[in-house]
């Protein structure tokens, strides 16, 4: 069992697991798995209907546990309501169960089904916001325990690392076409070191990939990256038949799944707002005019309107 201190960099759910990426005080980046069994909360039309539903749920193979619970269902209500909580084995079983329950006449209402699975995991199990400082124990890649550390008096933001880059298109056309206009060079800056990758386009793309792999940044920052820079880079790589990987894990582009629209929100001064955007990326907003995209899993890119940084 290993005990460490660090900051939550990224969290996502997949199947019956949640995965947490943490940057430790020693500068390591650790990926840990945790069990995730999503729950559905059901308001039956009557107690008799509830007992009938409970009996059905308890006999379903995909249901791990079904029981009566008391929960607040509205901020306006001053008392708890008696609901059935059904915990299912994974995300796929959850979707099938929700669809089945919507068609049952014994069900008056379902709660929390509009929450993203990531939100469910953060709100009901982890109960710690992304970017928070934590002390955690783990063994063989599995999270054992995690507690939030009160760092409200600390001035410094989390020690996440950033690589700034810009893509230069050959001929510098006003409206470059990623299908026809090749990339001439990529300028990269990590901490105090700057590097320009030039040459044949294949060499430029693979050279930039090597820089990202070597420096291992948490964030990739570029001007207008969500609408132009990264899509342009990815389109050029695909056009040339290259497999350019900018994430910490090797992922085939065709295997990327469309993520939900919202991931969560950080807390406190200097903490980013976390977002999930279409295209398999999550984002972090460090300021009002800053938007970032995640390159799965756990490397970020961002844009700053009108400027790089």
Where is 104: in which H helix or E strand?
Answer: none
**Within-domain flag for 100:** yes
Mark whether 199 and 91 lie in a shared domain: no
Whether residue 188 sits in one domain with residue 291: yes
The CATH number of the domain holding residue 222 is 3.30.420.10
pLDDT at residue number 66:
98
Are residues 206 and 81 both part of a single domain?
Answer: no
pLDDT at residue 162, rounded to an integer? 87
Looking at the structure, tell me whether residues 32 and 44 fall in a common domain: no
**Number of domains into which the chain is organized:** 3
- What's the rounded Cα separation, in Å, for the pair 168 and 184? 6
Locate 210 and state its tokens: 């090597």
Q: Contact at 8 Å (CB) between 208 and 195? A: no
Residues 6+ apart with CB under 8 A from 63: 57, 86, 87, 88, 89, 93, 97
Residues 34, 13: Cα–Cα separation, whole Å: 9
289: exposed, middle or buried (Cβ count in 10 Å: 0-12, 13-18, 19+): exposed
List of residues 6+ apart from 195 with CB closer than 8 A: 187, 188, 189, 211
Both 56 and 18 in a single domain? no
CB atoms within 10 A of CB 290: 18
Q: Which residues does 245 contact at the CB level (< 8 Å), separation at least 6?
A: 209, 213, 251
Closest CA to 133 of 160, 161, 158, 153: 158
Instruction: Determine the pLDDT at residue 171.
Output: 86
Token pair listed for 169: 């298109």
Strands (E) located in 105-206 = 107-111, 133-139, 142-148, 162-169, 183-190, 193-198
Each of the 309 residues of the chain gets a pLDDT tens digit; together they read: 999 999 998 898 999 999 999 999 999 999 999 999 999 999 999 999 999 999 999 999 999 999 999 999 988 888 999 999 999 999 999 999 999 999 999 999 999 999 999 999 999 999 999 899 999 999 999 999 999 999 988 888 899 888 889 999 998 788 889 999 999 999 999 988 999 999 999 999 999 999 999 998 888 888 765 567 888 888 999 999 999 888 887 766 555 444 333 333 333 323 333 333 322 233 333 332 333 344 445 555 544 444 444
Residue 88: give the domain boundaries.
39-121
Is 210 inside a domain boundary?
Answer: yes
pLDDT digits (tens, 9 = 90+) for 200-250: 999 999 999 999 999 988 888 887 655 678 888 889 999 999 998 888 877
Asked whether residue 11 falls in the same domain as residue 58, the answer is no
The reply to whether 78 and 189 lie within a common domain is no
- Distance separating alpha carbons of residues 266 and 116, to the nearest angstrom: 16
* Residue 175 and residue 201 in one domain: yes
Is 260 a member of any domain? yes
Let me know if residue 157 belongs to a domain.
no
How distant, in Å, are the alpha carbons of 5, 6, 157, 209, 221 from that of 132?
11, 8, 10, 29, 21
Q: What is the pTM of this model?
A: 0.78
* Same domain (yes/no): 286, 170: yes
Same domain, 55 and 170: no
Rounded-to-integer distance, Cα 202 and Cα 236, Å? 9
> The domain spanning residue 115 has which CATH number?
3.30.70
User: Which domain-ending residue is among 90, 113, 148?
Assistant: 148
Does residue 203 lie in a domain region?
yes
20 in Cβ contact with 171 (< 8 Å): no
225 and 109 in a common domain = no
Same domain, 175 and 242: yes
Residue 309 lies in a domain: no
Instruction: Work out the number of other CB atoms within 10 angstroms of the CB of residue 124.
Output: 13
pLDDT recorded at residue 309: 40
Q: Is residue 154 part of a domain?
A: no
Question: Domain of 20: which CATH number?
Answer: 2.40.50.140
Query: For residue 22, is it within any domain?
Result: yes
């Amino acid at each position: 069992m290993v005990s460490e201190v660090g900051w939550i960099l990224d969290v996502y759910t997949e199947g019956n697991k949640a995965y947490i990426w943490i940057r430790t005080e020693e500068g390591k980046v650790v990926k840990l798995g945790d069990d995730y069994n999503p729950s559905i909360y059901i308001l039956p039309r009557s107690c008799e209907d509830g007992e009938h539903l409970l009996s059905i749920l308890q006999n379903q193979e995909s249901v791990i546990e079904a029981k009566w619970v008391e929960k607040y269902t509205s901020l306006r209500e001053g008392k708890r309501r008696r609901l059935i909580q059904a915990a299912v084995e994974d995300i796929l079983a959850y979707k099938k169960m929700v669809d089945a329950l919507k068609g049952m006449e014994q069900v008056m209402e379902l709660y929390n089904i509009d929450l993203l699975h990531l939100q469910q995991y953060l709100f009901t199990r982890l109960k710690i916001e992304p970017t928070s400082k934590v002390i955690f124990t783990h063994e063989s890649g599995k999270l054992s325990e995690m507690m939030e550390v009160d760092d409200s008096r600390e001035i410094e933001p989390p020690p996440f690392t950033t690589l700034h880059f810009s893509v230069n298109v050959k001929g510098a056309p006003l409206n470059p076409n990623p299908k026809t206009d090749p990339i001439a060079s990529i300028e990269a800056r990590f901490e105090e070191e700057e590097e320009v990758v030039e040459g044949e386009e294949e060499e430029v793309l693979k050279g930039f990939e090597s820089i990202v792999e070597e420096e291992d940044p948490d964030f990739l920052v570029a001007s207008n990256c969500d609408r132009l820079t990264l899509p342009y880079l990815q389109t050029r790589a695909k056009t040339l038949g290259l497999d350019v990987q900018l994430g910490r894990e090797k992922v085939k582009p065709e295997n990327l799944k469309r993520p939900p629209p919202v991931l969560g929100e950080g807390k406190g001064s200097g903490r980013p707002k976390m977002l999930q955007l279409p295209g398999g990326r999550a984002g972090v907003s460090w300021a009002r005019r800053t938007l970032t995209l995640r390159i799965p899993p756990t490397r970020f890119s961002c844009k700053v309107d009108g400027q790089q940084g």
